[in-house]
Amino acid sequence: MDTHTTALTVINAQIVRGLNQKPPCERSILVALDLSKAFDTVNHTTLLQDIEKTTLPPGLKGWTMNYLNGRQSSVLFRGATSKLRRIKQGVSQGGVLSPLLFNFYISKL
């Protein structure tokens, strides 16, 4: 089972459990938001400006900003490697910091 199916199964079980209680039953509200290509659309300039405004310790702030600035990537396909390309937006799929950076990026919504 993938993580989405697992999450939906847990949510469904909680709703059913609430509805099956003796009155007054618990109310259940579900808000779902699917952000297509969410990690790919993070604007580095905005994210860096927002990080700069935080109260993070200067060393951590600088490290995080350096992590995003000047990133490059290439693709290996059938033994051939593409040229390096500068990454101007987005956070890495599967990157350890990516969920944290994305959540920070959308936190002001």
Same domain, 59 and 18: no
Structure tokens at 29: 């509200």
Same domain, 56 and 101: yes
Same domain, 27 and 42: no
Same domain, 44 and 83: yes
pTM, two decimal places: 0.62
pLDDT tens for each residue of 85-99: 998 899 888 888 888
Same domain, 47 and 17: no
pLDDT tens for each residue of 23-82: 776 676 777 777 778 888 898 999 999 999 999 899 999 998 898 888 899 999 999 999
Same domain, 27 and 45: no
The confidence score (pLDDT) of residue 108 equals 79
